[in-house]
A and B are shown apart, each in its own frame.
Chain A
Amino acid sequence: MTAAASASPVLAVRNAEKRFGAVHALKGVSLEAYRGEVLALLGDNGAGKSTLVKCISGVHGLDGGEIELDGQRTAIHNPAAARSAGIETVYQDLALFDNLTPAQNFYCGRELSFPSWLPRGMRLLRRRAMDQEAAAVIERLKVRLPRFDAPVALMSGGQRQAIAVARATVFARKVVMLDEPTAALGLREARKVLDLIAQLRDEGNAVILITHNMEHVVELADRAVVLRQGRKVGELKPSKANQHELVSLIVGAEA
Chain B
Amino acid sequence: MLAKQGPDTETAEVRARSLADGTALGVALKLLGIGPVLILILLVVGISLATPNFLKPVNLGNILAQSAVIAIVAIGQHLVILTRGIDLSVGANLALATVIGGLVYRLADSGPLVMIAMLTAGGLVGAVNGIVYVFGRLPHPFIITLATLSIARGLALEFAIGHTTMRGMPSEIAFIGGGATFGIPNSFFVVFGVAALVLLMARAMVWGRWIYAVGGKPEAAVQMGIPVKWVLVSVYVISGLCAGVGAIVLAGRTEAASPLYGNLLELDTIAAVIIGGASFLGGRGHIGHALVGAVMIGVIRNALNLLNVDVFFQMIAIGAIIVLAVEADVLRNHLEARVRVMQSGRAS
**A residues apposed to B, CB below 8 Å:** 57, 59, 78-81, 83, 89, 91, 93-100, 104, 108-111, 113, 120-125, 144, 146, 153-159, 186, 188-189
Contact = CB atoms under 8 A, between A and B. Distances in A.
A95 B224 contact: yes
Contact of B225 (A79, A153, A157, A159): A79
18 contacts: A79-B222, A79-B225, A83-B225, A93-B220, A95-B217, A95-B224, A99-B216, A100-B212, A109-B224, A111-B206, A121-B206, A122-B207, A123-B206, A124-B205, A154-B343, A156-B340, A156-B344, A188-B347
A98 B283 contact: yes
Contacts of A80: 225
Contacts of B217: 95-98
Contact of B216 (A98, A109, A110, A111): A98
A97 B225 contact: no
A156 B341 CA distance: 7
A104 B223 contact: no
Contacts of A154: 336, 339-340, 343
A125 B348 contact: no
B219 A100 contact: no
Given A97-B213, A100-B212, A155-B343, 13 more contacts: A78-B225, A79-B222, A80-B225, A95-B224, A96-B220, A97-B216, A97-B217, A99-B284, A104-B212, A108-B213, A123-B206, A155-B340, A159-B343
Contact of A79 (B207, B215, B223): B223
A181 to B, nearest CB: 15
Contacts of A159: 343, 347
Contacts of B223: 57, 59, 79, 89, 91, 95
A149 to B, nearest CB: 13
Contacts of A95: 217, 219-220, 223-224
Contact of A100 (B216, B225, B226, B231): B216
A110 B339 CA distance: 30
B347 A158 contact: yes
B205 A156 contact: no
A97 B220 contact: yes
B227 interface: yes
B222 A59 contact: yes
Contacts of A186: 344, 347
B221 interface: yes
B209 interface: yes
Where chain B touches its partner, the secondary structure class is helix
B308 to A, nearest CB: 43
Nearest to A98: B216
A77 to B, nearest CB: 11
B212 A99 contact: yes
Interface in B189-241: 204-207, 209-210, 212-213, 215-217, 219-227, 230-231
Contacts of A125: 204-206, 209
A188 B348 CA distance: 7
Contacts of A89: 223
Contacts of B339: 154
Nearest to B225: A80
A19 to B, nearest CB: 21
Contacts of B283: 97-99
A178 B333 CA distance: 29
A97 B14 CA distance: 31
A91 B219 CA distance: 11
Contacts of B210: 121
Given A121-B207, A123-B206, A109 B221 contact: yes
B236 to A, nearest CB: 15
Contacts of B220: 91, 93-97, 108
Given A122-B205, A124-B205, A109 B215 contact: no
Contacts of B336: 153-154
Nearest to A112: B206
Nearest to A95: B220
B128 to A, nearest CB: 21
B343 A109 contact: no
A80 B344 CA distance: 32
Contacts of A123: 205-206
A188 B346 CA distance: 12
Interface in B7-66: none
A155 B195 CA distance: 32
A87 B4 CA distance: 51
Given A109-B224, A154-B336, A158-B347, A120 B213 contact: no
Contact of B340 (A104, A109, A110, A153): A153
A91 B223 CA distance: 9
Contacts of B205: 121-125
Contacts of A98: 216-217, 283
Nearest to B342: A156
B74 to A, nearest CB: 20
Interface in B315-348: 336, 339-340, 343-344, 346-348
Contacts of B206: 111, 113, 120-125
Contacts of A96: 217, 220
A100 B344 contact: no
Contact of A109 (B204, B219, B226, B347): B226
A57 B221 CA distance: 14
Contacts of B207: 121-122
